[in-house]
Structure 1
Amino acid sequence: MVSLDGATVEPFGSFVSNLFTRWGDLDISIELSNGLHISSAGKKQKQTFLGDVLKALRMKGGGSNLQFISNARVPILKFKSYRQGVSCDISINNLPGQMKSKILLWINKIDGRFRHMVLLVKEWAKAHKINNSKAGTFNSYSLSLLVIFYFQTCIPAIFPPLKDIYPGNMVDDLIGVRSDAENLIAQTCDANINRFISNRARSINRKSVAELFVEFIGKVEDPFEQPQNTARSVSAGQLKKITEAFARTHDLLTSTNQNQISLLSNMAPAHVIRCITRPYGGGYFHPTQPQVQRAIRPQLQSQRHFQNVSQGTSSNSSSSKGHTLVHRGQQIWRPKS
């Protein structure tokens, strides 16, 4: 078994970025010791180490639903803990994942609507069964990047190009002494975020989250590890399902014939709806239809198509009602880097 001397267990993902829901997975990175320096374990070593962790979990009986995804770009061991019932994804030396999570947390300082939008988009995607990379649809990180791109391109823009927050390829800069590399990234991002916030000349977008959601549309690649495509799991067979989900929801939100049941069923999965409509304070919490309609009526003419900015039309694309998606390396939209 690989030595655990000096190793640390560190969370990342939505738990660190504060974009988690009570139903989400917990992402864990086991950081192997390399003194003060960032460890450079290769994929084979990570696979071997996770295999040993898998054996230990089986022997100790610490969890169920054990699944070792060894051939993924980042090998992962998945399991569900017996004690808390939390689903966990374990990876090895995933410092890039930790830093990306922190940057998502930091940019929320620019505008708190980012967190609300990401949570809304994630629940909407789950309701339409397009938030499952194992089934050929989006992972949650890709959905967060979709929101970032939209915030960069809405009018007025809410976020700046990400190169204005951290120039260059962040993952390539994770070398040498760990504390030095992390501090440099943190200080650079903090200074640039504060500079953007304090710019009194920029126009302020004052749209509500409901209005922003109606306008929301996009698909991206990872801006912190170019040209990594975080939506590489999206399969050709699922593209039609994804585009139809966007089109169906857009039609509903811009319709004057909405009703509470159809709105809720389109915006969140059933277990979430049960939580928000349960008795609360002596009554029931129900978002009222007139409030939703007032929020979205100004956006009746909002954009309804995916713009393909790649050259020509890909044979791997699928369209519905004017929406076009391009998959597997043929990106159409991404956060401005």
Structure 2
Amino acid sequence: MSAQSALDNTLREILHVVQPSPKDWTTRLQIIHELREAIESMESLRGATVEPFGSFVSNLFTIWGDLDVSIEFTNGSFVSSNGKKQKQRLLGDVMNALRQKGGWRRYQLIPNARVPILKVESNIQNVSCDISIDNLKCQVKSKLLLWISEIDPRFRDMVLLVKEWAKAHKINNPRAGTFNSYSLTLLVLFHFQTCSPAILPPLKDIYPGNIIDDLRGLRVDTERRIAETCVANIERIKRAYSMRPKNRSSLSELFVSFLGKFSDISTRASEFGICTYTGQWHAIESNTRWLPKTSYSLFIEDPFEQPENSARAVRTGELTRISGAFAMSHHRLISTDHSSFSNMPDQRSLLATLVRPQTSRLIVGPPLRNPVYNPEHRQPTHPQRFRAESSLGRTPTSNNGARKLTHPQVNQLVPSPSQVQPLLVPMLVHSRSQVQPPQAHKLVYSPSQGQPPQVHKLVHSPSQVQPPQVHKLVHSPSQVQPQLQTTEPKRYDNRSTTGPKQYRNRSTTIKPPPQTHQDRPQQMWRPRSDTC
């Protein structure tokens, strides 16, 4: 097996572990429903709706991913525009509602953030949730990323792999001065735009404008106009791409070239910024929109909210370590010979470069120490626990190892570009008849189905009542005495077999009389022949 094939197979195994199963989708839908019930129980929050966004809606989340939720308050038919103070107060009401409802813990209100949020953790699978107020712009961003991922399925796979790789090297934590998940997604998008031939188009070809400026007026009309524009342009792009040479790079080739492209990002960031709207590097000094933002160490423009910097949390000191992580991983993957893939230590060393120990353990068992670029920089661990049992309920895989998408929830939450009327809000509202997860029906058996197959494994026939382990503990009468003789300790103080039994039998409670200092020497030097 060649080194490229070995790496490609390893990446497929990683995807099989990190991508969510139908159970993960059902869990998050259940959390959204419980959040709706808590909101409806408060009089001050009556009439508000709960709408998810982020990686859950864009189908770019892993099994350990957070759940982003927006509490939407009706403002007639218009786009709501609550101020920051109002959002802080409403988040406090949401926190009180969750405390009264129960089922939540680890409350953390961050009122002074750029977008005030409430961080909580659900008791269901310990999923962490970020709750915000009237976050329509992030909802639109999430839907656009979902539609973009439908142009080429390799984009979603790369995003999941890059997220896991970044966590393994501790560069996916904005609080520690590194990337957030949204900026990593834009890096993958930019990589697919600058490949030869390009896999994804510049985002200006999908929506020729700044979406954040168009979110005003009637909400339904605004969302319909944006969706129809994106749907029409994506279909046109698909037809144009089908008539030109296609980029057929494998997932391993794309991943290695991604690491190589940004291995010198700390050097280029001082002069250039990344723009996915045009799909090009842009000189910061010649871009008039970026000039007031030159204080940032790295500039990755948000294509849906120009000219905001999605990498504004990256610090200068951490940028050097980020660049080193790219360079080190790229060097390891192109210089190490992984042709003998059947050798388990070689596979573990490859996984140590790509994933965290928790993920590696789910693939091959206890991993080697993960080689990070600078181990002194420690990232706070995520409050959500790693679920080693997450392999339960996995979606089936095809012959080449790729995962089949079996989660219909995505199409229920967000319309695909092939749908003519992509109304966004009504599809996010679930009725009470949808509370029961579809997986629960698998546990219900009708009388015609008989006993579930799991029960038959626990029922023993009359001949099987006696466990085979019991026979190992039962000895025949001929076996009892030899065991007593072999286990009888030797006693040199009294070898007479006719002596009192309490001197030789440990099971009796009678103990021999204590020896005095005068008696001990006589017994020690008594001739052996006297006791025979």
TM-score normalised over the length of structure 2: 0.51
* CA-to-aligned-CA distance 1:40-64 (integer Å, 9 cap, x gap): 1111111111122223334444322
Match of residue 248 from structure 1: 328
- CA contact under 8 A between 2:45 and 2:93: conserved in structure 1? no
Matched, 1:30 2:110: no
Cα deviation for residue 270 of structure 1 reads 1.5
* CA-to-aligned-CA distance 1:71-91 (integer Å, 9 cap, x gap): 111111101112342100001
Cα distance in 1 for residues equivalent to 2:151 and 2:317: 37
Match of residue 331 from structure 1: none
User: Higher strand proportion, which one?
Assistant: 1
Match of residue 355 from structure 2: 268
Residue 3 of structure 1: SS of its match in structure 2? helix
Cα deviation for residue 16 of structure 1 reads 0.3
* CA-to-aligned-CA distance 1:89-148 (integer Å, 9 cap, x gap): 001111111110001100112111000000010000010011111111111111000011
Match of residue 277 from structure 1: 364
**Paired AA for residue 225 in structure 1:** E
Matched, 1:205 2:247: yes
Residue 335 of structure 2: SS of its match in structure 1? coil
Match of residue 228 from structure 1: 308
Structure 1: unaligned runs, 5 residues or longer: 281-337
Residue 309 of structure 2: SS of its match in structure 1? coil
Match of residue 92 from structure 1: 133
Matched, 1:125 2:212: no
Match of residue 214 from structure 1: 256
**Paired AA for residue 236 in structure 1:** T
* CA-to-aligned-CA distance 1:153-209 (integer Å, 9 cap, x gap): 110001111000001101111111111111111111111111011014433100011
**Paired AA for residue 357 in structure 2:** A
Match of residue 236 from structure 2: 195
Aligned residues: CA RMSD: 1.8
Cα deviation for residue 243 of structure 1 reads 0.9
- CA contact under 8 A between 1:8 and 1:32: conserved in structure 2? yes
**Paired AA for residue 206 in structure 1:** R
Structure 2: unaligned runs, 5 residues or longer: 1-41, 263-273, 275-299, 339-345, 366-388, 392-532
- 1:16-55 equivalence runs, <5 A: 16-55=57-96
Greater Cα offset, 170-179 or 142-151: 170-179
Cα distance in 1 for residues equivalent to 2:176 and 2:201: 33
Cα distance in 1 for residues equivalent to 2:354 and 2:166: 8
Matched, 1:177 2:264: no
Cα distance in 1 for residues equivalent to 2:150 and 2:116: 32
Taking only the aligned residue pairs, the percentage that are identical comes to 64
Cα distance in 2 for residues equivalent to 1:13 and 1:243: 26
Matched, 1:10 2:90: no
Match of residue 238 from structure 1: 318
What is the aligned length? 280
TM-score normalised over the length of structure 1: 0.79
- CA contact under 8 A between 2:348 and 2:364: conserved in structure 1? no
Cα distance in 1 for residues equivalent to 2:56 and 2:178: 22
Cα deviation for residue 67 of structure 1 reads 1.2
